[in-house]
Amino acid sequence: MNRPLVAILSGAGISTDSGIPDYRGPNGLWRRDPEAEKLVTYAYYMGDPEIRRRSWQMRRKNGALRAEPNAAHRAVAALERAGVPVRVLTQNVDGLHQLAGMPARKVLELHGTARSFVCTECHARGPMEDAIARVEAGEDDPACLRCGGVLKSATVFFGERLDPVVLGEAVAISKACQVFVAVGSSLQVQPAAGLAGVAGDHGARLIIVNAEPTPYDDRADEVVREPIGTALPELLSGLTV
């Protein structure tokens, strides 16, 4: 029996149970501190050493690198282990899908990863822990050890393009899947949000699991407003039969 290809687009809401705040929800980071958006805006970051200093302190203090996968992440990995063809298209940068057991080759990180740093000049990369250790040792704005360039997290900042190869793969999966589950995403940030529309246009069953209304609710075959930590495992367990 051929099992349907399931694409899961995950947004910040899937990781809130792991202690990582979302951005646009009622208690989201951007609502609590609009200035925080500057810390991940490329033009501000590259043009202002004080913004970079604050960005590094934010990375040092937040608990994203210490977060553990929750029931929703584990449910996605369990679906894949059950033999269902699964591809994760994630807007998150926390790496929790992989920590939960999803093979890295089946996870497309649309907005990059906070678990690595990258040099804006020579594109050298390394573990974020190494850069954070330098900040904790007293460096306000650690420079690239290879070329002296500005370092940033290997995430897509506001003002940067998504990796066209990764985005192209995500579009192809959205076109090919039979089931598309958008979970914990406001579906407001393009082009990632548009993947739900691509899937719907190509005949996929569109399911949206999110606490707040999204622009794609009226196109969905099913909208779930229940808490993600309980709703997603129940929903995905139904796809294994």
Active-site residue numbers? 111
Q: Which residues contact 137 (CB under 8 A, 6 or more apart)?
A: none
Tally: H helices and E strands in the chain = 9, 9
Residue 152 and residue 25: Cα distance in Å, rounded?
26
Going by C-alpha positions, the residue among 89, 112, 76 that lies closest to residue 194 is 89
In the structure encoding, which two tokens stand for residue 69, read together? 């996968």
Residue 34: phi and psi, rounded to 5, are: -55, -30
Provide the residue type at 95 as one letter: G
Strands in 135-178 per DSSP E: 151-155
Number of neighbouring beta carbons within 10 Å of residue 11: 28
Q: How far apart are CA 189 and CA 90, in angstroms?
A: 12
CB-based contact 179:205 (threshold 8 Å): yes
Spatial CB neighbours of 201, under 8 Å, sequence gap ≥ 6? none
Strand partners, 183: 10, 209
